[in-house]
Amino acid sequence: TALDHPHRLTILSFYVLGVVLFFLLIFPMTDPLFYSLPTPVCTLTSIPGSICS
C-alpha cells in the first residue's frame, strides 16, 4: 500500500494536493452565475421544478 512505501510522505502530499486542486477547480463549475439562465439542469427536465424558478 501507499502507507508502506518508502516515499510515503511524497505520495501522500501529492494525493492531498490533488484533492485540494480538484475541489478548487471544480468549485467554479457549480456556480449558477457561470451558466446564466437557464441552468443546464433546467434544460434537461421536461417539467420545470422549483430548482428552475
SS3 48: coil
Quick one: pLDDT at residue 24? 87
Phi/psi of residue 33, each to 5°?
A: -70, -20
Quick one: pLDDT at residue 25? 85
CA 45 to CA 39: how far, in whole Å?
11
Quick one: pLDDT at residue 47? 66
Please name the residue that has the C-alpha cell 490533488: 18
pTM, two decimals, is 0.50
13-37 pLDDT tens trace:
999 999 999 988 887 777 767 666 5
Whether residue 53 has pLDDT greater than 60? no
Quick one: pLDDT at residue 44? 67
